[in-house]
Structure 1
Amino acid sequence: MKKTLVSALTTALVVGAASTTFAAANPFSDVPADHWAYDAVSQLAADGVIEGYGDTTFRGNQNITRYEMAQMIAKAMAKTDVSAADKALIDKLAAEFSDELNNLGVRVSNLERNADMVKWNGMARYTYTQDKYEYQGNKLKEKDDKLLLRLEPSAEVNSNWHVKARLEAQTDLKSDEGDNGNVSLKRVWAQGDYNNFQVKLGKFGSTINNTLIFDNPYSGAAVTFGKDLKATLEAGRVGTGELSKTLNGRVFYAKASQLTEDGNKIGLVDKTASYQGIGLAYDNGSKLTGRAGYQHFDWNYDDVDNDDVGIWSVGANYRFDKNVAFDASYAKSNRSLTDYEPNLKEDDGQDKSYAFELDYKGAQKQNAGTWGMWVAYRYLGALTSVKPTYDGIHEGYKGWEVGANYTPFKNVVGTLRYGDTKNLYNNDLKDKIFFGRVEVFF
């Protein structure tokens, strides 16, 4: 527990001091009368919540242990003349430090222990997207107008393990038919957190270069270990889907767009695939961070022998100061579309992806009035960027994106993006993307 005695005074004062008048004499030689915490230290010492050390020192800048914090909580629990608000805070702290309190011989009831075992977070989100496609004089406009409700419970199993989940209900504002608005379980997993070690089992999202390559959930297991340098191993199965539109008699893919002269479907599959990945991430708190990874997908294409794809990736982020940062990523696949469609030209450009982004500040959901903006160039090969995070540029396209976000109220964030892109297979196929989103967090 990396917390100093001085920084713990606010909590200790609330749960330990029965009175609000600070008139007690200060018994500690290293807390001068003009120190900001002088009154609090004096009162807590008089109440018997803190005792200091035998040499008359308080040592307020020294880190405290969970055991020492539990001692203060135990003394606060023994008090009877506290307000209802203070009593609630004492109970909450007692639940957190129940194991240490039990070792001290202080009983914490199961009701107190279980009070915070299940926690809920959530988000309500409105998203508007407009794609304006143009190809050889033909124009097509696609609009999405959707509301999404997301709930994320976390249930404590023991001090190391939690069960987490994600529930979503999405409504298409253009239609009220079919499964529109039904709640579905998107993710559920058990997570074990240990010192420099984490385990996940179930269905959850990948963390290996998930912005550029793949951020959808998969079913399986993941292990992460390390501190400044973290290594992640992932394995399981993942499902994919395809989206298509017809433009001038040809098959046109709006999201993972490829276009062939004969209208054949290429580069996409609607089956379950096996997945394995390994990633490295370095972050020691300095200005420069780095990442690298390898991910393998076996797509199970019909009538294709070599349908597995291996993707290497590297990336780095450099923060110039507290406001400006630059991020770069590159990924390369061992497959191209010519492996599946021999009639395509050799240089189809789908076997690599890269992205550069310059960020200025950034909206923080907890702080009203914060804002940010960015400019980026992205090249997203369809056989490399399988399901990337980006909303302003689709797989199979390249182009520029600009965006901004703003927090008008606490826990309310608005985002705008604009992307001007071209299809990688055919530069005559263009897509201009207008994206707007409002998120409310709770």
Structure 2
Amino acid sequence: MKKTLVSALTTALVVGAASTTFAAANPFSDVPADHWAYDAVSQLAADGVIEGYGDTTFRGNQNITRYEMAQMIAKAMAKSDVSAADKALIDKLAAEFSDELSNLGVRVANLERNADKVKWNGLVEYTYTSTRHDTQSNATKSKVNDDDLVFRLEPKAEVNKNWDVHARLDADMKLDKDQGSDGKVDLKRVWAEGHYDNFNVKLGKLPNAINLLSTTDDPYSGAAVTFGKDLKVTLEAGRIDAGSDFGDVGRKTSGLLPGSDEHVFKTTDDTVNFQGINFGYAKSKFYGNAGYEHMDGATFNPGYTLAKAYKNSDKAGQDNEFKANIWFVNAGYRFDHNNFFKAEYAQNTEADNYDNAYSFEYDYKGAQPENPGTWGMYLAYRNLGQYAAPWSTYGDGVDGGQKGIEVGTTYTAFRNIQFIAKYFNGKDIAADKDASKLFGRIDVFF
């Protein structure tokens, strides 16, 4: 008389005498009666998820081995109409019997095995900005208000103990115009990253990590290598789509510098080559960096070129090749838990004017998204010559091509909900006219 699957499982698991350690090493050993899988498979069998060898029975009185167990789990994994509770049991069993499933050639086993190694982080971010510039006549001020909403996902998947994969996907909306991205989600970044003690390598479309004053963490396509312990060396190389950055010198100004009748240059070939090197040292309360970035390859129309902005921009009537050599240093020191100071300087040796940028910033305390009630503030003075800081990371306040004082604060109102406010007051460098910006943001992290 044939036994039902539940009876067979019960008999086999009770009779099984192999230890847990031995079972893990031998795919043909019995599953011991005190193994947690006993309750799991019994529950799945009672729910009708596991179906034995296809005829709802187990063959005779033979014991259940780990390999046979994997065969039944593989069939259960192929089912889609299971409850959430049963799915959780299947996932747990798949992780336990992953080696046996792999021997069976069940490709999905690797996905189930690594399900807990895929982490999804993201945020919903609302940003309001109000930007003002004096015009050339000083009679009026130009004023632009923006209401932006961003939905962002940042998945990270562990490949093995040394490698993982990162990505970032953004969907943007202009709330003031009720304009969305028409269902479009942009893949902003995607890269593989390997970690080997004091050696790190990144490959793909990845964020720039060298000089945050002159170039942001906006992505480039290429590779980065970092090695060292206290003294770290970073090498980067790749290609950058500079059309939306260099073409407007970091701002959307319809080809004009704010408050000025001088044109910024307009690229006719947007892609530039990029190489960079950085030497960084960090010890205790101090860090310091020194490095170099080179960019070339894009061409621009001299009719849109700011007079003598670059040394190779005087070939009348010809498209000229963009070139930038930016040297930089920065350093920071934490005096105690609440007080921090940093300074930065950069210079573009290819520019004839607006060729240097510098920043001084004092930070007090700091807000942590996971800790409600924490807060921080900062006070800074920045002078960001647009050709040394073509699309500066400080664009939330002082932008490339501007100089002045910036103050800001961040407050964590609830766990993973932060409020950020910034105010800039200064000048547009080229026009030598007053400028200001009010910046507000709400970040909801998940």
Q: Same fold (TM over 0.5)?
A: yes
Gaps of 5+ in 2: 1-33, 41-84, 100-108, 301-317
Larger-Rg structure: 2
2:346 is the alignment partner of 1:331: yes
1:362-382 alpha-carbon deviations (Å, 9 max, x no partner): 110111100001100001011
1:308 matched residue in structure 2: 323
Kindly tell me the number of residue pairs found equivalent between the two proteins: 339
| Partner residue of 2:365 out of 337, 361, 367 | 361
What pairs up with 1:414-429 in 2 under 5 angstroms? 414-427=419-432, 429=433
| Cα pair distance change 1:208/1:320, threshold 3 Å | same
| Partner residue of 1:394 out of 363, 374, 399 | 399
Distance in 2 of aligned mates of 1:159 and 1:223: 18
Return the offset for 1:389. 1.4
Residues 239, 270 of structure 1: 8 Å contact kept = no
| Partner residue of 2:333 out of 295, 318, 326 | 318
| Partner residue of 2:408 out of 403, 407, 422 | 403
Residues 167, 190 of structure 2: 8 Å contact kept = yes
1:271 matched residue in structure 2: 270
2:297 is the alignment partner of 1:296: no
| Cα pair distance change 1:115/1:214, threshold 3 Å | closer
Residues 311, 333 of structure 1: 8 Å contact kept = yes
Distance in 2 of aligned mates of 1:95 and 1:435: 48
2:441 is the alignment partner of 1:437: yes
What pairs up with 1:331-350 in 2 under 5 angstroms? 331-336=346-351, 338=352, 348=353, 350=354
What pairs up with 1:21-100 in 2 under 5 angstroms? none
Stretch of structure 1 that moved more, 207-216 or 119-128: 207-216
> Sequence identity of aligned pairs in percent?
48
| Partner residue of 2:208 out of 201, 206, 209 | 206
What pairs up with 1:131-210 in 2 under 5 angstroms? 131-135=131-135, 136-177=138-179, 179=181, 182-210=184-212
Distance in 1 of aligned mates of 2:409 and 2:278: 30
| Cα pair distance change 1:308/1:245, threshold 3 Å | closer
Return the offset for 1:330. 0.5
Distance in 2 of aligned mates of 1:297 and 1:258: 28
1:220-268 alpha-carbon deviations (Å, 9 max, x no partner): 111111121111110011012135446xxxx533xxx5834xx433387
Stretch of structure 1 that moved more, 400-409 or 302-311: 302-311
AA paired with 1:209? N
Distance in 1 of aligned mates of 2:35 and 2:161: 25
| Cα pair distance change 1:187/1:258, threshold 3 Å | farther
Gaps of 5+ in 1: 1-76, 100-108, 339-347
SS at match of 1:116: helix
| Cα pair distance change 1:392/1:177, threshold 3 Å | closer
Distance in 2 of aligned mates of 1:305 and 1:178: 37
| Cα pair distance change 1:432/1:221, threshold 3 Å | same
Residues 258, 267 of structure 1: 8 Å contact kept = no
2:381 matched residue in structure 1: 377
Q: Which stretches of structure 1, 4 residues or more, deviate above 6 A after TM superposition?
A: 79-83, 267-270
Distance in 2 of aligned mates of 1:82 and 1:313: 63
Return the offset for 1:178. 7.1
Return the offset for 1:193. 1.3
Residues 380, 398 of structure 1: 8 Å contact kept = yes
1:112-139 alpha-carbon deviations (Å, 9 max, x no partner): 6323132211011000000011122221
AA paired with 2:219? P
1:28-47 alpha-carbon deviations (Å, 9 max, x no partner): xxxxxxxxxxxxxxxxxxxx
Residues 212, 389 of structure 1: 8 Å contact kept = yes
Distance in 2 of aligned mates of 1:279 and 1:139: 41
Distance in 2 of aligned mates of 1:331 and 1:245: 24
Residues 422, 439 of structure 2: 8 Å contact kept = yes
Return the offset for 1:154. 1.4
2:232 is the alignment partner of 1:234: no
Distance in 1 of aligned mates of 2:181 and 2:405: 35
| Cα pair distance change 1:111/1:185, threshold 3 Å | closer
AA paired with 1:358? Y
Distance in 2 of aligned mates of 1:149 and 1:386: 26
Distance in 2 of aligned mates of 1:440 and 1:269: 39
TM-score normalised according to structure 1 size: 0.69
1:352-395 alpha-carbon deviations (Å, 9 max, x no partner): 00000000001101111000011000010111112221111111
TM-score normalised according to structure 2 size: 0.68
SS at match of 2:221: strand
Distance in 1 of aligned mates of 2:293 and 2:162: 28
Distance in 2 of aligned mates of 1:401 and 1:417: 7
Residues 274, 295 of structure 2: 8 Å contact kept = yes
Return the offset for 1:294. 0.4
Return the offset for 1:301. 2.2
SS at match of 2:406: strand
Distance in 1 of aligned mates of 2:424 and 2:267: 23
Distance in 1 of aligned mates of 2:350 and 2:259: 15
Residues 258, 266 of structure 1: 8 Å contact kept = no
Residues 205, 216 of structure 1: 8 Å contact kept = yes
AA paired with 2:385? G
Return the offset for 1:440. 0.7
| Cα pair distance change 1:245/1:79, threshold 3 Å | closer
Distance in 2 of aligned mates of 1:398 and 1:388: 12
